[in-house]
Structure 1
């Protein structure tokens, strides 16, 4: 005789309608009595367990106390009232605040009770019940899907979009975000997170299928996809010349049956440019930085002795910094810190009994400091340009101009034999104070290597910037001067070759209006305040109310600004991922993390802005009151 396993009972919103003081507990199998401030297991008896609790002497006593202190109607949430709207909006915003500020879902178990205690005169605080389980359900099954649905609606309204992805490890899992970029005349360049999932491997087939299938699942038109962005790895583009057959870019073009704009990350190009150039220097700066850092990092006694050397010559001690090869320009602050502590560090290692030979040799070398100063001067140049490249809203043509400007600056430095003023001062000082043949040889070698440094950097940058050269065709769109029609014609021809239809005759009519507009606006302070391409074009498009004067120009903008200019947005997703998946919060499931990241990236609002947004959104307010939000998977993962 077989015994069937009894199905567990789950909480129903009908319980709250019948008894206002009965609310959902920490899980679907619990109810909470707000009068007794306790949880009731309903997994076996369901509504019967609630009735049993209400019949107990303890509950009846507390109920009498509460009812004499304040009317029991105060516990009631009246349907379809302003109070109900405010409570629902508060619950949505409370959940959003947790993910916006990287807070723990678990903390809400305390917050809900604390708010009702601290604000006893607030009906909203008393009746809000956004504890851990409910907040997780709101984020995972209401807010995150809503943000994706709104993004899909926006993509349906625009002519083009581009996508970007990359990989990052979380323990044994390979996590891949799928970001989409598009442009609207009201909101400008938009970057949204469609998915964040773990893949079984990093092969080109797996990644390309993930991108295409995700877009199909969301019913996003593949006809509008015009660009793919990733880092410069062979898996994505098949190498510098992009001749490979087994890479993501090639596979996606074959799957779509059309051409795509392929964008490798320009920030990585700049990183690798200075990294390659530094490798020809006799002093291995990276190794020295790491050796010095590790010599002090976990040794308090050594650090205290170094502080004494700093104090003796009246230099403020500052913690030595490490360097990450994956973010090569992290070297700049580490080099700068060593230079600030140069004298105490040199004296410290001179006094050490058995210092590492590589470090002691380094500080005994009279030109070591000069190498560090020279590299620091060039690192500052690259850091400025990388910061410009990694701006959140920037176009591919602005990226091309930054790469061109970097190459120009390197050529000028090489022509002028520029090594940095502080480097020059120290070099001249060394020539005066130590005019030995040995020092002369070292100085000559340094001067030869500075030329090789510039040659290497220029060659590398020129080689890897080739893929950006074709975007010169869009340079007239910078609007730094009134464009010529011939240049716009070239752009139209380029797009036609890529399967994009632009109505040339109508575009010409819009061009004549654009000329008139620019002639009248260029002198205005409002126009001068617009620094980026995006700002200038949004200004023109929003000022031009007649669609017949801008529809083709809008299409050109939507193509240009749909091309992701860099992969830094994906890197930001990984930074946000790391902020969520800490050692203290390691029980979050990938689905919950995906929902958190979608809320953080896709809404892009302050908590106050979000509150006003949801207060006017009837669909969201209705969903937060429904029990359906608990019926979807992965709502029990926020144990942190």
Structure 2
């Protein structure tokens, strides 16, 4: 008598969930293996199904299925989910840090999946333009600002300085607000953007209210002890400063109810304006000539091609002429140097034209045109190198003052010695031989007037900076004397900052001991002032810090120049150019906050930072962004 067949029962299906009913009651179909994989249960029932489950074929199918599902689903809260989120956040940071266009992310996910097919994170990674922009705008930018304010509070930073300036982009007037403070636990001086908004106009009322409201909203109003801006009349009212309170600085003093608020006009602008003002005493308008020559060639291929031919004829390597902008501190020197390099070819070009511009024709026909250029280049070399030194990001106000004093001393010595470079002297000697002695004497008189105007202008605009000379000892580059510290304490006392005299005296001698151990140490000597002080606080005990830390925090909060704001403008123009001007302002603001405030992070370090911050990862994953 034949044995009764087993059926694929409900009981078997509950036990072996990867099976469903097959073509009849005596079969089960495996849903893991490829479609059409039927297993007969007629003979042994559940044993047949178990035999299939234990087979190598079924195990390989399970692995393949798991891999397939992983491409689309990640278990919430798993380490893989965190890795994927951190990767998406890091790529967003990478895009911003390296000034890339968001459109780059459109084709990033696909190549990652195909290039690294065996890497789970690459297969799951999914962040194109829209998501990347959302991560930067809604997560990274707020986080970097939150970290700034958090570090100020946690590290007990009592003082900060603020700087701002305006830049136009079409009809949009953009004003970033940058604060500066000393936090030795974070490495010393910190410069951070706390806000960047467009304003309807550039009036003193608008700017001062905007600065005050921003400081108030960030909880920094009572910590602000200094304001820095460029040298336009809107900011400080000219020299002498406006006594009627119509400029931003005066209005801020009133709105902050801080009559001792310190104002610093940008010394980089002072040096730039100094040489421009002095150049106006010359018989030739060299700046105007540079601008006209550049405009004559820069968009005209035919003219540029002809100039290249003249360069070949006089055996000079052609290099593109450079533009000079009156408001850009470092553009005049390279512009003059480039024209001097091309001078024989450019002169021959214009004098060979049938109807050249009259101003340029007169310039190149002038017997002393090359002499003027060479002397102005020699003078500009002083300003160019010192502006580079002055505008370093983390300079202190005394380091800037030292640069200004250095420029003043060099100009004074040049005037005293009637200094002209050897090339100029050689050309003057040749011209005297050709009967141009009167013209040479006139040029020498102009050189003296040039030095006089430079020195006069510099002394006038340096005067407000001299009040900071009581802090010269804080550069820690000379022997320390207690009486110099006392003058700093008086400066602070006049601004309602109290210092415990006895504690400060004891702490000072500990500082002097620290400095003396680095005598002759070039590595320490070459550090910036804030780095030396950070090093001291890192190695000293808390009992040796309180009063000196208060002095250091106040001193380093004084913003010595507006170069950091100018750097932000450069970043802004670069980013807007990359996006073809179509980047929404909110996205631009977020990009600059991340670029500037997180500049200390490498992409690798930022990835580690994200992985260590579960809350930030959750924000990146959140649909609220």
With the shorter chain as reference, the TM-score category is 0.7 to 0.9
Q: Which runs of 5+ in 2 are unaligned?
A: 1-60
User: 1:185 aligned to 2:184?
Assistant: yes
Task: Report if aligned partners of 1:228, 1:262 keep a CA contact under 8 Å in 2.
Answer: yes
Cα displacement (A) at 1:75: 3.1
Structure 1: distance between partners of 2:418 and 2:521: 42
SS at match of 1:326: coil
The answer to whether structure 1 residue 543 and structure 2 residue 542 are counterparts is no
Q: Partner of 2:586 in structure 1?
A: 591
Which one of 72, 75, 82 corresponds to residue 75 of structure 1? 72
Aligned to 1:213: 213
Which residue among 100, 118, 123 is the counterpart of 1:121? 118
Are 2:70 and 2:124, in contact at CA under 8 Å, matched by a contact in 1? no
Partner of 1:577: 572
Contact 1:329–1:383 (Cα < 8 Å) also in 2 = yes
Aligned partner of 1:552 among 547, 551, 562: 547
Q: Distance in 2 between matches of 1:472 and 1:508?
A: 20
The 2-side partners of 1:150 and 1:212 are apart by 21
Could you tell me the TM-score, scaled by structure 2's length?
Answer: 0.86
Q: 1:134 Cα deviation (Å)?
A: 1.4
Q: Which moved more, 1:168-177 or 1:306-315?
A: 306-315
1:447 to 435, 441, 444: 444
Equivalent residues in 2 for 1:171-250 (5 A)?
Answer: 171-186=170-185, 187-218=187-218, 220-242=219-241, 243-250=243-250
Name the structure 2 match of 1:318.
319
Residue 198 of structure 1: how far off its partner (Å) = 0.6
Question: Structure 1: any 5+ residue segments left out of the alignment?
Answer: 1-63, 630-640
Two-structure CA RMSD over aligned residues (Å): 1.9
Q: Is the 8 A contact 1:163 1:227 kept in 2?
A: yes
**Most deviating of 443-452 and 316-325:** 316-325
Q: Say yes or no: does 1:255 pair with 2:250.
A: no
- In structure 2, the CA distance between the partners of 1:68 and 1:161, relative to structure 1 (3 Å rule), is closer
Quick check: 1:563 aligned with 2:563? Answer: no
Instruction: Give the equivalent residue in structure 1 for 2:403.
Output: 402
Cα gap change, 1:556 to 1:262, in 2 (>3 Å): same
Q: CA deviation at 1:342?
A: 1.7
The equivalent residue for 1:32 is none
Q: Is the 1:155–1:161 Cα contact (8 Å) retained in structure 2?
A: no
Q: Which residue of 1 aligns with 2:48?
A: none
Matched, 1:86 2:87: no
Q: Secondary structure at the match of 1:521?
A: coil
Residue 601 of structure 1 corresponds to 596
Decide whether the 8 Å contact of 1:275 with 1:328 is kept in 2: no
When normalised by structure 1's length, the TM-score is: 0.84
How many Å separate the matches in 2 of 1:524 and 1:329?
A: 33
Q: What is the rounded CA distance, in whole Å, between the counterparts of 2:334 and 2:90 in structure 1? A: 39
- Using a 3 Å threshold, how does the CA distance of structure 1 residues 610 and 475 change in structure 2: closer, same or farther? same
Kindly name which structure, 1 or 2, has the bigger radius of gyration based on alpha carbons: 2
User: Partner residue of 2:102?
Assistant: 105
CA contact (8 A) 2:99 2:575 kept: yes
Could you tell me how far 1:552 is from its partner in structure 2? 1.2
Cα distance in 2, alignment partners of residues 524 and 337 from structure 1: 40
How far apart in 1 are the matches of 2:381 and 2:117? Answer: 56
Whether the 8 Å CA contact 2:165–2:230 is kept in 1: the answer is yes
Residue aligned with 2:557, SS = coil
C-alpha distance 244-383 of structure 1, shift in aligned 2 (>3 A)? farther
* Whole-angstrom CA distance in 1 between matches of 2:448 and 2:89: 60
**In structure 1, distance between residues paired with 2:300 and 2:257:** 60
